[in-house]
Every structure is written in C-alpha cells, then in structure tokens.
Amino acid sequence: MSESESPSPLLERAAGGDRVAMNDLFAEHRDRLKKMIRMRLNRRLQGRVDDSDVLQDAYLEAAGRLPEYLADPQAPFFLWLRKITGQKLIDVHRRHLGAQARDARQEVCLQQSRLPMASSVSIAAQLLGRLTTPTEAAMRAERRQVLQEALDRLDGIDREILSLRHHEDLSNQEAAQELGIDESAASKRFVRALQRLQKLLGEMGLEK
C-alpha cells in the first residue's frame, strides 16, 4: 500500500474486529501463501508439517497485528501477510530442525524478509509440470535430476527470483520489494535468470 492509498473498507472492518472481514481478507491471499509455504518448507519436514497449520498461526498473528499495520503500512497488505507467514515458517523450521534451522533457511543476502529459500528440488518439481506430461514418468525422473543440477548452478538470487515470479506469482513490483532492489533491476534479473537457465538446460541436453 502506498502512502497515497487509503485502507480498503474491508481492511478497516477487519482491524475493528470484524471476523468475517478478516476471514475474507485472508481467503483472498490463501492460495498464494500456500504456494510460498510449499516451495519453502524444508523437504525433511514434508509430510510432518501441514501448511494449513502454518497458515492458521499466520492468520491469528495477522488478525492481532492488523491495527498496527494500518497505522503505518510500509508494504502492500499481501507482502505484509507473506512476511508474517514466512516468519511462522521459520519458527516451524527452528522447532523441528533445531540447530539445523539456520542451514535450512539458506538466506539470500538481498532478501529483506529473510525467508527460507525455495530449493532447487522444489523449483524443479514445479518446472517439471510445465516441461513434461504426466505420461512421461521415466523421462520425468531424468529431467528432474538435470533441472536440479542446472538450478544448483544458478546464483541463489536467480533461483529466488524464478521462484517468486514463476511459482509464487508475485508481480515484478512485489518481487522487487521482497528482494530489496528496484523494479528495473528485478525485471532484468528475472529475464537473465530465465535465459541462464535455458542456456544451461540446452548445454545439458534437456529440451522442452
């Protein structure tokens, strides 16, 4: 939300304690927040942690802090929600992984919100759905491995912006804010990351 924008009536009602309004607000962004959790949840915790539990914790904190947000909105509402949800995900990593939690986060130095990074495994799994059909089971396993290797060869910031734009459906403006860079730099970085990945896949013999 920019300084020139006024809070929506729905936001104001939610901040006033209207539970229906808060439910409606959260429901608008639930699918995007789920994508973020699934991309960034450490693979050792998949099957042990339910994304709905993370979302419930985020919902409760957001509902309690909404008046604070409206008093001084420093970011669009979705990015504020995303940050809270990301912090809950970090808490889950700490709770389940203990001393390994720091490694599990694999922070990108430019990323202001310091969320756990999407792994090459998670990104490859998403890309694979675009690159193959469900009937190509044998080829999928080979391609997944090649994709993971190619993604591992990208800079961490390149993997991050691919995840933000391609799989979490953030706009260029939203991705720029999350990474702490200007919109022009974010746009150029995204294009270069796509080109770099395409080149690597070509060199490794993976054709779309």
pLDDT digits (tens, 9 = 90+) for 65-101: 999 999 888 889 999 999 999 999 999 988 888 755 5
Of the candidate ranges 44-48, 118-122, 166-170, the one whose mean pLDDT is the lowest? 118-122
In a domain, 2, yes or no: no
Query: Both 69 and 128 in a single domain?
Result: no
Query: Both 84 and 150 in a single domain?
Result: no
Residue 11 near residue 77 (C-beta atoms within 8 A): yes
Residue 206 or residue 205, greater confidence: 205
> What is the tally of structural domains in the chain?
2
Residue 122 or residue 138, greater confidence: 122
Question: CA nearest 185: which of 166, 172, 200?
Answer: 172
3-class state of residue 49 by DSSP: strand
- Rounded distance, CA 150 to CA 144, Å? 10
- Rounded distance, CA 201 to CA 203, Å? 5
Query: Both 86 and 144 in a single domain?
Result: no
Residues 6+ apart with CB under 8 A from 30: 55
- Rounded distance, CA 5 to CA 74, Å? 12
Return the CATH number at 65.
1.10.1740.10
Distances (CA, A) of 134 to 53, 127, 137, 149, 198: 30, 13, 6, 22, 22
Bridge partners of 143? none
Bridge partners of 49? 46
Domain limits at 17?
9-105
Both tokens of 153, joined, read 């060869």
Q: What is the pLDDT of residues 158-201, one digit of tens each?
A: 988 998 998 888 999 999 998 889 999 999 999 999 999 989 98
Query: Both 147 and 177 in a single domain?
Result: yes
Region 43-64 average pLDDT: 90
Last residue of a domain, one of 57, 73, 105: 105
Position 151 pLDDT exceeds 70: yes
